[in-house]
Structure formats: C-alpha cells, structure tokens
Chains A and B, each alone.
Chain A
Amino acid sequence: MSAASISLIGFYGALGAYGLSVLAAWLQKHRISVMIFGIGWLAHSVSQLARGWYLGFFFPNPIVHELTFLPWCLAALGLGLRTVRTDTRMLRQAVMLVFVFSLVTMLFPKGVLAPFPKNQTIFSPLFFACEVLAHACFILGAWFGLLYLLRKSDSRLFHSLVIWGFVFYSVSQIIGAIWAYLGWGSPFHWSDRHLGSACLWCYYAAYVHLSFVAQWDLRKRAGIAALGAILAILFTANYQLFELRMLITGGHC
C-alpha cells in the first residue's frame, strides 16, 4: 500500500471516529466518546506521518500542511487538556470543533504541494508547524471564549490558550523571517500574506496587554479572543485558496 493510500485511509478513519465521538458525546456516553476520539487521533497521526512520504521520498512539509495539521493540532490540544485538567468537559467541548475542521479538510482536493528549491530547509516545516499550532490555540481559545461568554463554561482556560498561541505565533514569525531572508532575500515582504500575519500578531499583542488594564474584565477578553479566530480563519483561508491554486496548477510562489 502506498503512503498516499495510508494517508487517505487514515484520515477517513479519523474523520469517522471524530464523528462517532461527537455522536457518543451527544448521547451522554462520555467515556466511549473520549475513547473513540483517542483512536481517531491515532489514525489521524498515522495519516499525517504518511503524508511525509506521499511523493515517494521523504519531504516533511506535507506533514505540517495547515489543512490536515490544524484539526490534528486541535485534537492533540483537546487530548492534552483532558490529560492535564481534571475537568473532562474541555475535551467534550473540543470534539465538535475538531470534527467540523476535519469536515472542511474533506472539501479540499487531496494531494500535497510539491517541493520547490526554496522550501527545502528545516525552517520551512518548522515555520508551518509553529504557525498552525498557534492557529489551533487561537481557534480553541476562541471557542472556549465563546462558551464562556454564553455561560456554558466558567473556565478561564481560553486566556491561557490564546497566550500560548501568541508565543507560538511569535516564534513562527521569527522562523518565517529567517526562511524568507534565506529564500527571498528579505525577512519581510510587502505581500498580503506577510501583512496578514503582522495584522494577526498586532491583534493578539493587544489581547495580551488587556489583562494589565482593569476595565478589560474576563468577559470582554473572552469576546476579543472569540473575534480573533475570525481574523485567523480569514487570513488562513486566503492563503489556503492561494495554495489550492498551486496544487491544481503545480505552480510555486
């Protein structure tokens, strides 16, 4: 069986398991829901790893490609919270989000972006790994922030998620700057991609400072965290559509 087939079957298996997990949670079978979710995440992990050999030789970038890596990171964060926190509701609340993002991934054509001379450096997969992990923290933080606003959760966890998202995002930006310098001659470019990233960084930098001003109470911060995900998804979608064109045409940036 080829790596491409393993990757696809693994992903379909994960999607099915996430769906069953949502169903089990809805039926109040929480232990079963967690168990199926864990199995789904394992299948998803195998799928992600197999993407590294999709082209017949090892190329790490497809492993951390946002479309499939984002739901994997969301699932990993959910499972991590289940392990660290005693409150099991966190994972239940995350399961739905993982399922929705995996469904979105299904809508995109299957395949991986081909390598080109400028992405054959460790800085490229490192950049994407940190950036996608940051996006996952922002999105999960926004989801928990929204639940806090709707009074369906009383946890302040959304704040920690957004803070760590900001740390990962800052690290990704500096790794990206080094990669951009090596590959394109400058750490910053006047492009919608770079300006979108700067916009997101400033937004979350503002969020980080909110906790130092009394008038920005936890509910207001939850609102800002929830709105941030819209920005993150908007800029991500813009870049994913650009990459989709690359996938279809076989072109490069």
Chain B
Amino acid sequence: MWRSIASVQLSIYLLFLAASNLGIAAGYLKWMPDTFRPLNKMPLPDWWSTYATADAWWIVTLLIVLSLLGVNTAACTVDRLCTLWPRRFDYGRQRFLVLLSPSLMHIFFLLALNGHALSLFNGVHKDLPLVQGDTIPVGNALVQVEWIQPRYWDNPLLKNPLKQCTIGLTFHIGSKTVSRELRFLKPFILDGWSYHLDANLNANPGEPPQLFLQVRKDPGLTLILIGGAAMSILMGWYFFQLSRLKNNSASPPKAVAL
C-alpha cells in the first residue's frame, strides 16, 4: 500500500491528470468568465454557494487530484528521506546536498501547494472605488482618501497615457492615525491588511480611469512565494550540478538519481 502511495509512477499519472484538468479549467475560464472570474474576489465556499452549477465539476476534480498529488508527494519525500538520511556519511557533503535537493524541492512544492489552498479557502478580497474626499471602512479602520495625483506619459502615440498615480490615504485605527501613500505596484501592509492600487485601464481616451482600492488578506501568500522561489532556485542548482557531474563523467547521472 505504502509503495503504491509513494510511487513515482503515481506522481506521473497525477501530474498528467492535473495538467488535463487545468487545461479544461482554462477553457472554462475563457468561455465562462462571468461565472468563474468571481473566484478571484471571494473564498471558494462563498463562491460555491453563489455561482456553482454543473459547469463547476472541474473545480471538484481539480481539488481531488491536487490533494492526491499532495499526499503522493509527501509520501515520496518521506520515503526518499528515510532511505537517504542513514547513508548521509557515505557520500561527500556536496554529493549529499545534490541527493538531498529533490526532497527539499518537494517540501517547498508542498508549502506552495498548501499556500494556494489557504488562499483559496480563507482569502479575503475587497474592491473599493477611490474618490477624493471619501471615507471607506476597512476592518477596524476608517480610510480617508486625501488626494489623488495622476502622472501621464507625454507621448501622443499612447491612447491611455496614465503612467503612475499616487493616492494620499489617512487611516484612523482606534485612537491612532496613520498617513500612507499608495501607488501602482507599491502595495503596503497595515494592521494585517494589504492595500493595492487598481484601475480600470480601459477607459475611453480623454477620460480618467476609475481607480480602486484593493484590500486583501491572503494567508497563503508567504507560503506560495517562499515555497515557489526556493523550489525554483533549488531546481536550477540541482540540474546544473547534474549536468556538471555528467560532463565530468566522474559518476554517471543514474547513480545520482538514487
């Protein structure tokens, strides 16, 4: 039983299944955006109670396949570590690190996968129109929009020449008052909420774009970014080391694969 759960053959089937499922999902998102795009604005349980129809079958299968992939990856990693760890003194340090890195990659992959699950089930997202002088309630805070300062490209070739925009915000949290500036691509975190500037950039030429304050709580964000980055870096290092070993032909690559 354990052999089957921890088998690489199962990983391959599950990854191909996940790829097929995600390909189908991409099709649904393309052809039914009104139904599925709201998933970006609310946790999955809320979306399910509002929008789910028979067309949402692929979400169920995707969650099942990814959960099985998570279990299989965890079992594979434990299995490999149990084999590798007692033999750690049989190899040189460099070689042991090369052998260890696939297991570390899988651990980081699991972190990223769990991050996505956390975001999907517990993420909070609000889109609030930004109008100068307005006061917006966010959690325990009142956010006052003090000023809006857009900057434009000086180029007649551009139909929508907005280059950047700075928003002056004042936060009233209990007895505390905090002033912050918000720009495109420069979000900030305050009192557990992350604040982003968004805009409908498809406004008619000559009209100013509608600006939005995006307020988010994404519990999976750190896991996704750290897990994904560490996995990618390790992957690059691992394959580089493998090709070096192969080129030096000091030890054949099959031996490294354990």
Whether, in the assembled complex, B39 has its beta carbon less than 8 Å from a beta carbon of chain A, the answer is yes
Contact A213/B12 with A181-B225, A184-B198 known, Cβ cut-off 8 Å:
yes
Whether, in the assembled complex, A189 has its beta carbon less than 8 Å from a beta carbon of chain B, the answer is yes
Whether, in the assembled complex, A155 has its beta carbon less than 8 Å from a beta carbon of chain B, the answer is no
Contact A185/B23 with A120-B163, A170-B232 known, Cβ cut-off 8 Å:
no
Residue of A nearest to B9 (CB): A213
Residue of A nearest to B227 (CB): A174
Contact present for A114 and B157 (CB under 8 Å) = yes
The stretch among B13-21, B88-96, B131-139, B173-181 that forms the contact with chain A is B13-21
Contact present for B12 and A210 (CB under 8 Å) = yes
* Chain B interface, DSSP helix/strand/loop, else mixed: helix
- Residues of B within 8 A of A (CB-CB), count: 60
Contact present for B165 and A114 (CB under 8 Å) = no
- For B22, the chain A residues whose CB sits under 8 A away are 195-196, 198-199, 202
Q: Tell me the bound Cα distance from A249 to B221 in angstroms.
A: 34
Contact A114/B232 with A185-B198, A187-B221, A212-B8 known, Cβ cut-off 8 Å:
no
Smallest CB separation, B218 vs chain A (Å): 6
Contact present for A209 and B15 (CB under 8 Å) = yes
Q: Tell me the bound Cα distance from A117 to B203 in angstroms.
A: 14
- For B27, the chain A residues whose CB sits under 8 A away are 192
Query: Chain A 99-128 against B: per-residue CB contact (8 Å), 1 yes, 0 no?
Result: 000000000000000111110110000000
Whether, in the assembled complex, B236 has its beta carbon less than 8 Å from a beta carbon of chain A, the answer is yes
Q: Tell me the bound Cα distance from A190 to B30 in angstroms.
A: 10
Whether, in the assembled complex, A53 has its beta carbon less than 8 Å from a beta carbon of chain B, the answer is no
Whether, in the assembled complex, B160 has its beta carbon less than 8 Å from a beta carbon of chain A, the answer is yes
Contact present for B185 and A203 (CB under 8 Å) = no
Q: Tell me the bound Cα distance from A250 to B8 in angstroms.
A: 48
Whether, in the assembled complex, B103 has its beta carbon less than 8 Å from a beta carbon of chain A, the answer is no
Contact present for B30 and A238 (CB under 8 Å) = yes
Q: B151-175: which residues lie under 8 A (CB-CB) from chain A?
A: 153, 155, 157-160, 162-165
A-B contacts, 8 listed (Cβ < 8 Å) = A117-B185, A185-B214, A190-B29, A203-B19, A205-B15, A209-B8, A209-B15, A238-B30
Contact present for B235 and A167 (CB under 8 Å) = yes
Smallest CB separation, A246 vs chain B (Å): 10
Smallest CB separation, A37 vs chain B (Å): 26
Whether, in the assembled complex, A251 has its beta carbon less than 8 Å from a beta carbon of chain B, the answer is yes
Among A121, A177, A238, which residue has its beta carbon within 8 angstroms of that of B185? A121
- For A24, the chain B residues whose CB sits under 8 A away are none
Residue of A nearest to B231 (CB): A170
Whether, in the assembled complex, A164 has its beta carbon less than 8 Å from a beta carbon of chain B, the answer is yes
- For A160, the chain B residues whose CB sits under 8 A away are 243
- For B243, the chain A residues whose CB sits under 8 A away are 160
Q: A69-102: which residues lie under 8 A (CB-CB) from chain B?
A: none
Smallest CB separation, B254 vs chain A (Å): 9
Whether, in the assembled complex, A16 has its beta carbon less than 8 Å from a beta carbon of chain B, the answer is no
Whether, in the assembled complex, A5 has its beta carbon less than 8 Å from a beta carbon of chain B, the answer is no
Q: Tell me the bound Cα distance from A186 to B198 in angstroms.
A: 12
Whether, in the assembled complex, B184 has its beta carbon less than 8 Å from a beta carbon of chain A, the answer is yes
Whether, in the assembled complex, B64 has its beta carbon less than 8 Å from a beta carbon of chain A, the answer is no
Query: Chain A 184-222 against B: per-residue CB contact (8 Å), 1 yes, 0 no?
Result: 111111111101101110110110011111011000000
The 9 closest A-B pairs by CB, nearest first: A250-B159, A206-B15, A199-B22, A117-B184, A202-B19, A195-B26, A192-B30, A252-B201, A203-B19
